[in-house]
Every structure is written in structure tokens, then in C-alpha cells.
Amino acid sequence: MNKSRYSNGMLFVGGSILLSSLAQLFMKAGMLALHDNNLFLSLPRTAGNFGMILPVLTWVLGGLICYGASLLCWMRALAQYELSLAYPLLSMNYVLVYIGAATWPRLNETISITRTAGILLIFLGVLIVARTDTSPTDSL
């Protein structure tokens, strides 16, 4: 790997994480724009009404574009860094999606001690699992 060809890799790691979190939030915003009590009743009614379907399509498409851009940033980041350095940082996604969903007024999702504790445990767990480590292994 010729490292001198690439620079600013952390920008792409950060961009990838930010974009994939945004993708989740945008897709949720799109599904909220669809909201009715029943998806199967809501879909045909919404699909037949341009004014109703436009926000749904815009948010979902925006989410998919962010998702695609995130994958591209990730591949660019991996061209510069070892996977062992970049992979654990993906655990930030769980924290960012929670903060975004709780603070973006359009989503206005539940904040609770239980959920915050759960997110922190998952953040730590993914951080540890994704890390390359050299500690003793279980016997085979």
C-alpha cells in the first residue's frame, strides 16, 4: 500500500460515519412522512397522492444517497488505513443515531436512562469486538 498517495483519511472515516448515521435518520423521516396506523392502508393512499408521496420519496432517496456516499468514503478511508484502525470507529454510529434521533425535532424520539445505558454498552462492545487484539484466546 502506497500511503503517500493518500492523505486526510480521517476526514473520510469521519465522513463515512456521519453519512451512515444521517442515512438512518433520513430514512426514518421518510417513513414518518408516510405515517398512518397501518402500512398497507397507508401505502396505496399515499402513493396515489403526489403531495403526500413527495416528502416520503425525498427523505428515503436522500437516505439512500447518504448510504451510498458513506460506502464510498469508507472504501477511500480503507485505501489509507488498516481495517484495525478504522473498524472500531464504526461504533460511533450507535451514539450518533441516538443523539440525532433524540434531538432532531422531526423525529423527537424517546430519551431514557435504560436506552442510554444500552447504547453505551453496545458502543463499548462493538469498540472491543472490532479491535484487533493479541490477548489470550479460548482453547479450541
Partner 1 sequence: MDYLLILLSVLFTTGGQLLQKISATKVAAMPAKAHFLKSVFRQSETWWAVTCLAAGMVLWLVILYRMEVSKAFPFLSIGFVLVILVSRYHLNEAVSVTRWLGVALICSGIVLISLS
Residue 38 C-beta: closest distance to partner 1, Å = 10
**Residue 74: all three cell numbers together:** 469508507
Residue 47 C-beta: closest distance to partner 1, Å = 14
What is the size of the binding site for partner 1 (CB under 8 A)?
Answer: 46
DSSP 57-111: HHHHHHHHHHHHHHHHHHHHHHTTS-HHHHGGGGGHHHHHHHHHHHH-TTT----
Task: Give, as ranges, the residues between 75 and 94 that touch partner 1 (CB under 8 A).
Answer: 93-94
- Binding segment for partner 1 among 10-18, 25-33, 45-53, 76-84 (CB under 8 A)? 25-33
CA–CA gap between residue 10 and residue 22 (Å, rounded):
18
* CA distances in angstroms from 6 to 19, 110, 139, listed in the order given: 21, 41, 41
Query: Does residue 68 belong to the site contacting partner 1 (CB under 8 A)?
Result: no
Closest CA to 74 of 36, 17, 131: 17
Query: Does residue 41 belong to the site contacting partner 1 (CB under 8 A)?
Result: no
Residue among 13 and 126 whose Cβ is closer to partner 1? 126
The footprint of partner 1 (CB under 8 A) covers 24-25, 27-28, 30-31, 34-35, 39, 60, 64, 93-94, 97-98, 101-102, 107, 109-110, 112, 114-115, 117-131, 133-140
